[in-house]
Structure 1
Amino acid sequence: MPELIFPLDSTKSFTEQAKVGHNRWHPEIPPVATVKPGDSFRVHCREWFDGAIRNDDSAEDILNAPLNRVHALSGPFAVEGAEPGDLLIVDILDMGPIPDEDSGPLAGQGWGYTGIFAKKNGGGFLTDQFPDAYKAIWDFSGQTATSRHIPAVSFVGIPHIGLMGTAPSHELLAKWNARERALIETDPNRVPPLALPPEPDGAILGGVPESEFDRVAREAARTAPPRENGGNQDIKNLTIGTRVFYPVFVPGANLSLGDLHFSQGDGEITFCGAIEMGGFVDLHVDLIKGGMEKYHVGENTIFMPGRTAPQYSEWLAFSGVSVTLDGEQRYLDPYLSYQRACLHAINYLTTFGYTPEQAYLLLGAAPIEGRLSGVVDIPNACATVYIPTAIFDFDVRPGSGTPYRIPEGTNVPHASAG
Structure 2
Amino acid sequence: MPEVLFPLDSSKPFTDQEKIGHNRWHPDIPPVATIKPGTTFRADCREWFDGAINNDDSADDIRDAPLNKVHALAGPFAVEGAEPGDLLIVDIVDLGPIPQEEGSLAGQGWGYTGIFAQNNGGGFLTEQFPDAYKAVWDFQGSECTSRHIPHVKFTGIHHPGLMGTAPSAELLKKWNKREGDLIATDPHRVPALALPPEPDGAILGSLSGAEFDRVASEAARTAPPRENGGNQDIKNLTKGSRVFYPVFVPGGHLSVGDLHFSQGDGEITFCGAIEMGGYIDLHVDIIKGGMEKYGVSENAIFMPGRGGPVYSEWLAFSGTSVTLEGEQRYLDSQLAYQRAILHAIDYLTKFGYTPEQAYLLLGAAPIEGRFSGVVDIPNSCATVYLPTEIFDFDIRPGADGPTQIDPGMGAPRSANPNL
Shorter chain as denominator, the TM-score bin is over 0.9
Partner residue in 2 for 1:267: 266
Partner residue in 2 for 1:389: 388
Partner residue in 2 for 1:228: 227
Write the mapping of 1:5-404 to structure 2, written as runs, cut at 5 A.
5-101=5-101, 103-404=102-403
Do the aligned residues in 2 keep the contact of 1:156 with 1:311 (CA within 8 Å)?
no
> What is the distance in 1 between the residues matched to 2:88 and 2:176?
24
Q: Which runs of 5+ in 2 are unaligned?
A: none
> Given the two structures, how large is their TM-score scaled by the length of structure 2?
0.99
Deviation of residue 410 (structure 1)? Answer: 2.2
> What is the distance in 2 between the residues matched to 1:199 and 1:273?
24
> What is the distance in 1 between the residues matched to 2:294 and 2:113?
38
Deviation of residue 417 (structure 1)? Answer: 2.4
> What is the distance in 2 between the residues matched to 1:402 and 1:235?
36
> What is the distance in 2 between the residues matched to 1:382 and 1:80?
46
Do the aligned residues in 1 keep the contact of 2:354 with 2:407 (CA within 8 Å)?
no
> What is the distance in 2 between the residues matched to 1:242 and 1:111?
24
Do the aligned residues in 2 keep the contact of 1:119 with 1:417 (CA within 8 Å)?
no
Deviation of residue 310 (structure 1)? Answer: 3.5
Do the aligned residues in 1 keep the contact of 2:155 with 2:308 (CA within 8 Å)?
no
Cα offsets for 1:369-414 (capped at 9, x unmatched): 0000001111000000000000000000000113211115421110
Letter of the 2:126 partner, please give it: T
SS at match of 1:15: helix
Letter of the 2:175 partner, please give it: W
SS at match of 1:151: strand
> What is the distance in 1 between the residues matched to 2:318 and 2:399?
22
Do the aligned residues in 2 keep the contact of 1:197 with 1:222 (CA within 8 Å)?
yes
SS at match of 2:361: helix
Deviation of residue 209 (structure 1)? Answer: 3.3
Do the aligned residues in 1 keep the contact of 2:20 with 2:205 (CA within 8 Å)?
yes
> What is the distance in 2 between the residues matched to 1:31 and 1:221?
17
SS at match of 1:152: strand
Cα offsets for 1:31-62 (capped at 9, x unmatched): 00010000000100000000000000000000
SS at match of 1:120: coil
Cα offsets for 1:140-180 (capped at 9, x unmatched): 00000100000000000010010000000000000000000
Letter of the 1:204 partner, please give it: I
> What is the distance in 1 between the residues matched to 2:248 and 2:195?
22
> What is the distance in 2 between the residues matched to 1:379 and 1:171?
39
Partner residue in 1 for 2:410: 411
Alignment RMSD (CA, Å): 0.7
Range 302-311 or range 292-301, more displaced: 302-311
Letter of the 1:68 partner, please give it: N
> What is the distance in 2 between the residues matched to 1:400 and 1:80?
64
Q: Which runs of 4+ in 1 moved over 2 A?
A: none
SS at match of 1:414: coil
> What is the distance in 2 between the residues matched to 1:336 and 1:222?
26
Deviation of residue 306 (structure 1)? Answer: 1.1
Deviation of residue 210 (structure 1)? Answer: 1.9
SS at match of 2:220: coil
Range 401-410 or range 118-127, more displaced: 401-410
Letter of the 2:391 partner, please give it: F
SS at match of 2:15: helix
Pick closer, same or farther for the CA change 1:40–1:409 going to 2, 3 Å.
closer
SS at match of 1:193: coil
> What is the distance in 2 between the residues matched to 1:293 and 1:51?
41
SS at match of 2:152: coil
Deviation of residue 26 (structure 1)? Answer: 0.3
Letter of the 2:44 partner, please give it: H
Deviation of residue 231 (structure 1)? Answer: 0.1
Deviation of residue 309 (structure 1)? Answer: 4.2
Letter of the 2:121 partner, please give it: G
Deviation of residue 233 (structure 1)? Answer: 0.2
> Given the two structures, how large is their TM-score scaled by the length of structure 1?
0.99
Do the aligned residues in 1 keep the contact of 2:89 with 2:245 (CA within 8 Å)?
yes
Pick closer, same or farther for the CA change 1:408–1:345 going to 2, 3 Å.
closer
Deviation of residue 208 (structure 1)? Answer: 1.6
**Equivalent pairs: percent with the same residue?**
78
Do the aligned residues in 2 keep the contact of 1:264 with 1:274 (CA within 8 Å)?
yes
